[in-house]
Amino acid sequence: MNPIGVFGGTFDPIHYGHLRTAYEMLQALKFDEVRFMPCGKPPHRNEPRADSTVRLSMVTAAIQGQKGFIVDDREINREGPSYSVDTLKTLRTDFPLRSLGLIVGMDAFLGLPEWYQWREILELSHIVVAHRPGWRMPDMGPLDELLKERGTHRVDDLHQSKSGYIYIHEVTQLEISSTDIRTLVRSGRNPRFLTPASVTKIINDSKCYKNKLTN
Ligand code: ATP
């Protein structure tokens, strides 16, 4: 069986930058599936603007009909901060024999040394990094060392081992962020073509970004 991609995020809201990245990863790395996993309480950033149920419904709507895309609500249903290492432990229990690939954008990868028990992550899964517009590969420090030790250019490595490798994959650069979408919506503009129409509808119906925000 092929690896399972695990794509965590705030998804506040999900957009085509996320979707295209996941799709290209699914194809290029030959994942059996990509599990979209909206976080409950993110440990490294402000509280999401939209409720977890709304974020979950936006992800569900966005991926509908795409073979291999699955929504996984385990982080939303768990109490406390959504630490990736805890999530991966539960996935390991559910899928003891499968290769797991944690998908992160380059910006998220650069923050890895601040993650809770980050060195344990590679004991549980691979890390697959999507090149994101405007971010450069680390060329010094702990991540550079980690890349030298664990980096691979071989997709086969991700299939043959269950965990332990870092693979950097270039994806089509779509300079879209959830922050920009929220800003657009707050100023009354339509995020059309940045996110699926089904997501725009949920944003409109739930009014999840309507309130004036403090930052
Ligand atoms: P925000 O603007 O609120 O910070 P975001 O657009 O970065 O949100 P997240 O939900 O925080 O979205 O991102 C989840 C994951 O998707 C992260 O690993 C992030 O690096 C990655 N990601 C976000 N936007 C893109 C994009 N346009 N292209 C590729 N990867 C992306």
Round the average pLDDT of the chain to a whole number and report it.
Answer: 92
Domain annotation covers residue 195: no
**Residues lining ligand 1, Cβ inside 6 A:** 9-12, 17-18, 21, 104-105, 107-108, 130, 132, 174, 176-179
Domain annotation covers residue 203: no
Ligand 1 atom closest to the CA of 107, numbered from 1: 20
Domain annotation covers residue 186: no
Q: What is the pLDDT of residue 55?
A: 97
Q: How many angstroms is it from 87 CA to the middle of ligand 1?
A: 18
Domain annotation covers residue 30: yes
Domain annotation covers residue 36: yes
Ligand 1 atom closest to the CA of 180, numbered from 1: 2
- The yes-or-no verdict on residue 215 having pLDDT over 70 is no
Domain annotation covers residue 69: yes
Among 59-63, 128-132, 175-179, the minimum mean pLDDT is found in 128-132
Q: What is the pLDDT of residue 78?
A: 85
What's the total number of domains in the chain?
1
Confidence of residue 214 (pLDDT cuts 50, 70, 90): very low
- The yes-or-no verdict on residue 21 having pLDDT over 90 is yes
- The yes-or-no verdict on residue 155 having pLDDT over 80 is yes
3 state SS for the chain:
CCCEEEEEECCCCCCHHHHHHHHHHHHHCCCCEEEEEECCECCCCCCCCCCHHHHHHHHHHHHCCCCCEEECCCCCCCCCECCHHHHHHHHHHHCCCCCEEEEEEHHHHHCHHHCCCHHHHHHHCEEEEEECCCCCCCCCHHHHHHHHHHEECCHHHHHHCCCCCEEEEECCCCCCCHHHHHHHHHCCCCCECCECHHHHHHHHHHCCCCCCCCC
Mean pLDDT of 58-73: 98
CATH number of 108's domain: 3.40.50.620
Domain annotation covers residue 40: yes
- The parent domain of residue 27 ranges over 4-176
pTM for this predicted structure: 0.93
